[in-house]
């Protein structure tokens, strides 16, 4: 049963006015005589020098007496090619350029904007089908990709609500407000949407529990406390398309009957905090937030809360404690937040990507969403590709795509001719999967079976130079540091496991350590309240399952097969390869540990050496005289 006809017409009428204004200013931007220059200026673009490129292009425009509209956009996910610049000039399709620095920026202004030479040597492709040059989307990776949640990222100015409105933004909210909350929940349930925070709980079901739970007021919270090292997709969405998340939160609020929402963003993401703040302000001014939204009678307010840097606050009960002004300690569930959450009231907590999916589901329908993905995991998944992979950045694929397609077809594989060893998926809660597991389709269930989990979607590729024991130690160091200390087994168990792993990587491993690690891992899993402790042993268990031989080499032979663990390796200069007249390594050494002996051969003082590897990089490739040896006693002793 829909809501009354007059009310629905009123909502549509108000929205059409907003949209008309937005469309007009959007069209004016693109159809004016001035060319439009879009520059990717999210955190990744800025780190690569986007601000400098913008300044250089502005200066050059002024020098040439040209006019152009420069728009700072978000992140398209192609971080490997940052800074990215798109130029739309009349008579040409919009062209995307990659790896732009100040000089190339100035050249684009002079050659393309002044003289119609589009500098195709810097172009990655056109962003539309055309007859002049190949489209960027013809690259093989796009056969596998399916861009839904990232569709606005890098295409619109995230600080301009009209851009979002002009691209059908807030259409989902408008459709939602015309229907009853129960119908919205049904639609989300039918779409098969599951929580993108890692556990994959059905979103519609969570909303329904919250709606039916007694107690007022109710709350909805957006969990943007993206703390997994190696995951940055939530940051990219918040910085590039904040309104999609805000719209999802408003719809969630309407569906469960909440009048207040929180967006919990890490304070370590200052740009995301700023852009979300701007988005909230603009939505309020347009009447999309606040009292009587679009005349529907629904009131909703949003508060931006900055998380203070505690990994455990990604856990929902800890996050709630933190908003209440307490240390972020999780508590036992049940009661789940959906029945008893913030200030003891029914509360829905959803991840950034979950909420960004909601407006699209309402706008395009549950069937459309359910047509993407697999039987039990619907929609798309976003992965952050990092580590030893060619095309670092973000990718969005339908659920069910295999890891091999993501890493090799989209990510371009391992650079430098190195051999793929493993992929670490799901951050500190996930695990390391070997080559054999690459044909697994990625969805919530298959990854859990393999011992990993989807987690937040961080995907770090490891090659032959990475030591699996060291990776396990690295993650344990992280979880041990971030354990809140409430549960004994998590607090002390992670510490003990870390100490054993440190001993193994430093050559003090003993017979029986592996068994002890396995026992402790099971105990920590069993004896922890929240997901931090229950999943902390995953990196150890998966590396033991797939790379046990590396543990054994460390323990029995005091050898690191990947030549990574610094206590188990030594740098050595092969006398027969050393070119006596070359001094490259001597000058490069950061601690002056390399000297020249009487035969003019370079020698490393093992006592002074800090094993930073600078000499190995410095030695010219034609000599290749610096090698790593493990165990370190392979270095010949001086007579």
Partner 1 sequence: MIIREVKNQEDRSARRKAREILRKFKRTRSNLIPILQQLQLALGYLPRPAMLEVARYLRIPEIQVYGVATFYNQFRLTPPGKHQVRVCLGTACHTKGGQLILEAWERRLGIKPGQTTDDREFDLDIVACVGCCVMAPVTVVDGVPEGKLSPTKVDGILLSKFGREFGQAQEAQGRNNSKV
Q: Does 499 bind partner 1 (CB under 8 A)?
A: no
Q: Does 337 bind partner 1 (CB under 8 A)?
A: no
Q: Does 47 bind partner 1 (CB under 8 A)?
A: yes
Q: Does 588 bind partner 1 (CB under 8 A)?
A: yes
- Binder among 35, 43, 423, 558 for partner 1 (CB under 8 A): 43
560 neighbors 473 (Cβ within 8 angstroms): no
Give least dist CB 456 to partner 1, A.
11
- Which residue, 117 or 303, has its beta carbon nearer to partner 1? 303
| Nearest Cα to Cα of residue 386 among 132, 77, 618 | 77
- Which residue, 11 or 573, has its beta carbon nearer to partner 1? 573
Q: Does 480 bind partner 1 (CB under 8 A)?
A: no
In which region does residue 591 sit, left (phi positive, over 0), alpha (psi from -120 to 50) or beta (all else)? alpha
| Bridge partners, 261 (sequence order) | 220, 302
- Binder among 263, 484, 489, 529 for partner 1 (CB under 8 A): 484
Q: Does 44 bind partner 1 (CB under 8 A)?
A: yes
Q: Does 330 bind partner 1 (CB under 8 A)?
A: no
Give least dist CB 414 to partner 1, A.
12
* Site map 117..156 versus partner 1, x via CB under 8 A: ----------------------------------------
Q: Does 228 bind partner 1 (CB under 8 A)?
A: yes
Task: Quickly tell me which residue has 């054994």 as its tokens.
Answer: 552
Q: 170 CB contacts (<8 Å, ≥6 apart)?
A: 15, 18, 164, 243, 247, 288, 359
Return the structure tokens found at 377: 């995991």
What distance in Å separates the CA atoms of residue 84 and residue 347, rounded to the nearest whole number?
A: 40
Query: What is the length of the chain?
Result: 639
DSSP H/E element including 52: helix 50-64
Interaction residues for partner 1, span 64-83 (CB under 8 A):
79-80, 82
What distance in Å separates the CA atoms of residue 166 and residue 189, rounded to the nearest whole number?
A: 28
Q: Does 450 bind partner 1 (CB under 8 A)?
A: no
Q: Does 613 bind partner 1 (CB under 8 A)?
A: yes
- Binder among 20, 28, 285, 326 for partner 1 (CB under 8 A): 326
Q: Which listed range, 61-69, 107-115, 380-388, 513-521, lies at the site for partner 1 (CB under 8 A)?
A: 380-388
What distance in Å separates the CA atoms of residue 157 and residue 154, rounded to the nearest whole number?
A: 8
DSSP H/E element including 261: strand 258-266
- Which residue, 140 or 325, has its beta carbon nearer to partner 1? 325
- Which residue, 160 or 466, has its beta carbon nearer to partner 1? 466
What distance in Å separates the CA atoms of residue 101 and residue 254, rounded to the nearest whole number?
A: 46
What distance in Å separates the CA atoms of residue 206 and residue 208, rounded to the nearest whole number?
A: 5
Q: What are phi and psi of 464, to 5 degrees?
A: -60, -20
Q: Which listed range, 159-167, 309-317, 406-414, 622-630, lies at the site for partner 1 (CB under 8 A)?
A: 309-317
Q: What are phi and psi of 230, to 5 degrees?
A: 100, 0
What distance in Å separates the CA atoms of residue 199 and residue 97, rounded to the nearest whole number?
A: 38
- Binder among 300, 478, 546, 572 for partner 1 (CB under 8 A): 478
What distance in Å separates the CA atoms of residue 493 and residue 506, rounded to the nearest whole number?
A: 20
Q: Does 502 bind partner 1 (CB under 8 A)?
A: no
Under the rule (CB under 8 A), what is the footprint of partner 1? Answer: 43-44, 46-48, 79-80, 82, 226-232, 235, 267-269, 305-306, 308-311, 322-328, 384, 386-388, 392-393, 424, 427, 458, 460, 462, 466, 471, 474-475, 478, 484, 588, 590-592, 610-614, 617
């Amino acid at each position: 049963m829909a809501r009354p006809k007059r009310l629905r017409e009123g909502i549509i009428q108000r929205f059409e006015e907003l949209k008309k204004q937005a469309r007009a200013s959007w069209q004016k931007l693109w159809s004016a005589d001035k060319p439009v220059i879009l520059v990717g200026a999210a955190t990744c673009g800025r780190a690569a020098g986007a601000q400098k490129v913008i300044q250089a292009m502005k200066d050059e425009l002024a020098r040439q007496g040209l006019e152009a509209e420069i728009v700072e956009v978000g992140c398209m996910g192609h971080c490997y090619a940052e800074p990215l610049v798109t130029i739309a000039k009349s008579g040409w399709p919009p062209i995307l350029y990659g790896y732009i620095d100040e000089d190339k920026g100035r050249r684009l202004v002079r050659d393309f904007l002044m003289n119609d030479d589009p500098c195709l040597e810097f172009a990655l492709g056109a962003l539309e089908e055309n007859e002049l040059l190949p489209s960027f989307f013809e690259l093989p990776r796009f056969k596998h990709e399916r861009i839904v949640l990232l569709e606005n990222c890098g295409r619109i100015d995230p600080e301009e609500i009209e851009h979002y409105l002009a691209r059908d933004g807030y259409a989902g909210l408008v459709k939602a407000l015309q229907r009853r909350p129960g119908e919205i929940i049904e639609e989300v349930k039918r779409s098969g949407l599951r929580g993108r925070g890692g556990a994959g709980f059905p979103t519609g079901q969570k909303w329904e529990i919250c709606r039916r739970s007694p107690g007022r007021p109710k709350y909805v919270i957006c969990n943007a406390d993206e703390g997994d090292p190696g995951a940055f997709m939530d940051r990219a969405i918040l910085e590039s398309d904040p309104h999609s998340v805000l719209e999802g939160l408003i719809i969630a609020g309407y569906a469960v009957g909440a009048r207040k929402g929180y967006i919990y963003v890490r304070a370590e993401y200052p740009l995301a905090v700023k852009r979300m703040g701007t988005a909230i302000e603009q939505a309020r001014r347009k009447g999309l937030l606040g009292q009587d939204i679009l005349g529907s009678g629904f009131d909703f307010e949003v508060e931006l809360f900055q998380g203070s840097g505690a990994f455990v606050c990604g856990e929902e009960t800890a996050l709630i404690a933190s908003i209440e002004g307490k240390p972020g300690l999780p508590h036992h569930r049940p009661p789940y937040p959906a029945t008893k959450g913030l200030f003891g009231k029914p509360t829905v907590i959803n991840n950034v990507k979950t909420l960004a999916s909601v407006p699209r589901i309402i706008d395009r329908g549950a069937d459309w969403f359910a047509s993407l993905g697999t039987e039990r995991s619907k929609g798309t998944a976003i992965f952050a590709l990092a580590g030893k992979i060619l095309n670092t950045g973000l990718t969005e694929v339908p659920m069910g795509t295999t890891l091999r397609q993501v890493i090799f077809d989209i990510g371009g594989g391992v650079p430098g001719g190195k051999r793929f060893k493993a992929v670490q998926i799901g951050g500190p809660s996930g695990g390391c999967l070997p080559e054999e597991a690459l044909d697994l389709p990625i969805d919530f269930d298959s990854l859990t079976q393999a011992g990993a989990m989807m987690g937040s979607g961080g995907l770090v590729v490891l090659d032959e130079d990475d030591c699996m024991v060291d990776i396990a130690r690295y993650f344990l160091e992280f979880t041990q540091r971030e354990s809140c200390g409430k549960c004994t087994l998590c607090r002390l168990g992670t510490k003990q496991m870390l100490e054993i792993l440190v001993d193994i990587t430093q050559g003090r491993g003993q017979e029986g350590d592996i068994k002890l690690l396995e026992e402790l891992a099971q105990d920590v899993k069993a004896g922890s309240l929240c997901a931090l402790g229950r999943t902390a042993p995953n990196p150890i268990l998966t590396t033991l399952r797939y790379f046990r031989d590396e543990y054994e080499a460390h323990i029995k032979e005091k050898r690191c097969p990947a030549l990574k663990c610094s206590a188990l390796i030594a740098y050595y200069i092969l006398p027969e390869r050393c070119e006596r007249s070359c001094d490259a390594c001597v000058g490069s050494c950061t601690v002056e540990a390399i000297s020249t002996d009487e035969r003019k051969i370079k020698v490393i003082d093992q006592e002074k050496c800090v094993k930073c590897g600078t000499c190995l990089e410095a030695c010219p490739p034609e000599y290749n005289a610096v090698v790593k040896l493990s165990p370190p006693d392979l270095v010949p002793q001086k007579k």
